[in-house]
Amino acid sequence: MEERLTSHTLIEDFADLARIAKILEVAEAVGVDTETTALSPRDGRVRLLQLATPDETFVVDVFETGDLSPLKEVLESGPVKALHNSKFDYSFLRAEHGISLSPIFDTMLAAQLLAGGDQTPSFSLEAVANRYMDVELDKSARREDWSGKLSEAQIEYAARDAAVLLPLRERLQEDLEEEKLGAVSKIEFRAVAAIAEMELAGIKLDVGKWKELELTVRERRDEAALALEAQFPQPEGILPLEGLGPRLNLNSPKQIMDAFRTLGIELSDTKVWTLLKVDHPAARALLDYRELQKKLGTYLEPYPGFIHKETGRIHANFLQCRVPTGRLACTNPNVQQIPHEDEFRSCFVAEQGNTLVIADYSQVELRILAEVSDDPAFVRAFREGEDLHRVTAASMFGVGRDEVTKEQRSAAKRINFGLMYGRGARSLSAQLGTDDERARTLIDEYFANYPKVQRFLQSTANRAMKTRTLRTLSGRVRKFGDTSGLGSQDKGAMRREAMNFPIQGASADIAKVALAYIRRDLEGLDARLINSIHDEFVVECKEDIAGEVAEKMKFAMNEAGAAILKKVPTEVEVAISREWRK
């Protein structure tokens, strides 16, 4: 094994690339890795491209060969390309050489799928190789300078990383098949290209408009601070503490609780759900202040710093399998969590001559709940294109569907979504602005109308407690830890997580299938994905093809839904705008 991992041929002549391509064409799989001069293709270049077959490993010095075009066809088709964290290598090869790696087997994603949502272990190449093959990889060389003259140790290090991917792929493939994760692994591997290209495209922020919004929100924050301060009696002394103004520190739960005590209000804590139940203007002012301060500190102040100086766009980092449900996560910055208000989203815009096409699934998680519970009323509502929230409200409140009020529909909507997330009477009562007893009555009425939904949620939670394993419709697995030592509160939290996993996990699976289908169907058009927010997708394209792009997105997303949901149809809503708004 050691000799197989370290033996290699250094390629520095462009003329040798055509010969290598012919060797790769007949291989069943090729280990692919790159060494780069920076962590982003916007800031660095590919220095080495390592290509491994079972018989030999080629280390291509890209600074010497320059063009990689002789390898383009074999890297974009033919044998499976085994990579670790393939999004990284894909991005560099796509940005610098126009190469779109395909088909892909990603050993990092495979290991994360096998972990079943457990993020405790490391998923670096050295950790995964050691865990599955008992191979030690020395990764110290990755911190060295890869832009100058390379040492033999660096070349050997690079070759080893590519060569180990082939036996590692074989081992992980066996485990994926054994644990019935083959189908969901293909979903993940096919989504890599769309996610990498989405990061490369980036999203444009109108900085001037953003800065104006920052000033506006700062004024609102200060007004909320004054409104809150005015609710409390003037103290004998002044506390010049940082936070809400001269007298109260918002970061101190004790000070907040003491302040409310002066109003005759005893708070058990200062959490949102507790404050929502307090019928006093001070509670609303405190929540308003917190929300505005979060918008300033989390979004408005830091986001302009993420704009790349060369592209003028924000290039966020999407994490593919870092959430147990399979949903995409996002960092640096998190463009999935931009506040929903138009004043925020409208600051994200298309370039001159372009427009945005925004498409999202309508009630996809409720459709999944209908699918997995097989509740006839749920399934019928979606098959017949009815408004589920209105249907629910009519049943719960005992009125005709045409008589459902806006408030009743809103309550039904909160219950539809809330119970899917395992929320109980206390949480729902805070959302609905009622007491626990009334919320409990509404929950009972809800489950009386949808008994199979209740059975599904309860049986799912029980199964997780008993077997500690759940799956989505496409086979994604969630492995829960030992429950024997958990207290009642932790068990309750686990049951709620279990109820939601098959639903949110299936939504994530549909979204990743949709990413691959949208990318496929937009190929050849001047259009590119620039953001994915769970069940919503944003494409930037030339203005004159927006209608065509909208239709292609709708078709691709419904096709993705039909690939996983068999009993109920999906519905996609599309909007076209120069700003990110619906």
- SS3 state of residue 122: coil
| Nearest-angstrom CA–CA distance, 202 and 335 | 10
| Nearest-angstrom CA–CA distance, 358 and 183 | 28
143 forms beta bridges with: none
Instruction: Of 31-40, 228-237, 418-427, give the lowest mean pLDDT range.
Output: 228-237
Please state the rounded mean pLDDT for residues 240-263: 71
Q: What is the pLDDT of residue 439?
A: 80
The answer on pLDDT for 517 being more than 70 is: yes
Topology (CATH level 3) of domain 2-179 = Nucleotidyltransferase; domain 5 (3.30.420)
Positions of E strands within 283-352 = 317-319, 329-331, 348-349
Please state the rounded mean pLDDT for residues 353-367: 96
Please state the rounded mean pLDDT for residues 284-301: 94
Please state the rounded mean pLDDT for residues 477-486: 87
Q: Integer distance in angstroms from the first to the last C-alpha of the chain?
A: 56
> Is there a contact between 470 and 501 (Cβ–Cβ < 8 Å)?
yes
Bigger pLDDT: 2 vs 284:
284
Please state the rounded mean pLDDT for residues 476-487: 88
DSSP letter (8 states) at residue 401: G
Residue 393 — pLDDT band, cuts 50, 70, 90? Answer: confident
Contacts of 47 (CB under 8 A, 6+ apart): 34, 35, 36, 37, 61, 62, 63, 146, 147, 150
Task: Report the length, in residues, of the chain.
Answer: 582
- Residue 539: count of CB within 10 angstroms of its CB: 29
Radius of gyration of the chain (CA): 27
Burial pattern 237-273, b for ≥16 Cβ within 10 A else e, equals eeeeeebbbebbbbebeebbeebbeeeeeebeebeee
**Amino acid identity of 190?**
R
pTM, to two decimals: 0.92
Both tokens of residue 368? 């999944």
Burial pattern 42-80, b for ≥16 Cβ within 10 A else e, equals beebbbbbbbbbeeebbbbbbbebeebebbbebbeebbb
The answer on pLDDT for 142 being more than 60 is: yes
| Nearest-angstrom CA–CA distance, 380 and 452 | 13
Helical H runs in 308-405?
A: 342-345, 364-373, 376-383, 388-397
The answer on pLDDT for 125 being more than 80 is: yes
The answer on pLDDT for 240 being more than 50 is: no
529 forms beta bridges with: 539
Look up the CATH architecture of domain 207-303.
Up-down Bundle (1.20)
- Residue 312: count of CB within 10 angstroms of its CB: 12
CATH code: domain 366-503 is 1.10.150.20
The answer on pLDDT for 399 being more than 50 is: yes
Residue bearing tokens 């203005």? 543
Residue 565 — pLDDT band, cuts 50, 70, 90? Answer: very high
Q: Which helix (H) or strand (E) holds 408?
A: helix 406-420
Phi, psi values for residue 467, rounded to 5°: -95, -20
Residue 1 — pLDDT band, cuts 50, 70, 90? Answer: low
Q: Where are the domains of the chain?
A: 2-179, 207-303, 314-364+508-577, 366-503
CATH code: domain 314-364+508-577 is 3.30.70.370
Phi-psi category of residue 107: left, alpha or beta, with phi > 0 → left and psi -120 to 50 → alpha: alpha
Please state the rounded mean pLDDT for residues 6-35: 95
| Nearest-angstrom CA–CA distance, 161 and 159 | 5
Q: Which helix (H) or strand (E) holds 481?
A: none
Sheet-wide strand order for 527-533: 527-533, 536-542, 354-361, 572-577
Please state the rounded mean pLDDT for residues 424-450: 80
pLDDT in tens, 31-84: 999 999 999 999 999 999 999 999 999 999 999 999 999 999 999 999 999 999
| Nearest-angstrom CA–CA distance, 426 and 172 | 44
Q: What is the pLDDT of residue 235?
A: 57
| Nearest-angstrom CA–CA distance, 176 and 115 | 11
| Nearest-angstrom CA–CA distance, 410 and 432 | 9
Q: What is the pLDDT of residue 243?
A: 42
Mean per-residue pLDDT over the chain, rounded: 92
> Is there a contact between 58 and 11 (Cβ–Cβ < 8 Å)?
yes
Contacts of 538 (CB under 8 A, 6+ apart): 203, 356, 357, 358, 529, 530, 531, 532, 580
- SS3 state of residue 275: helix
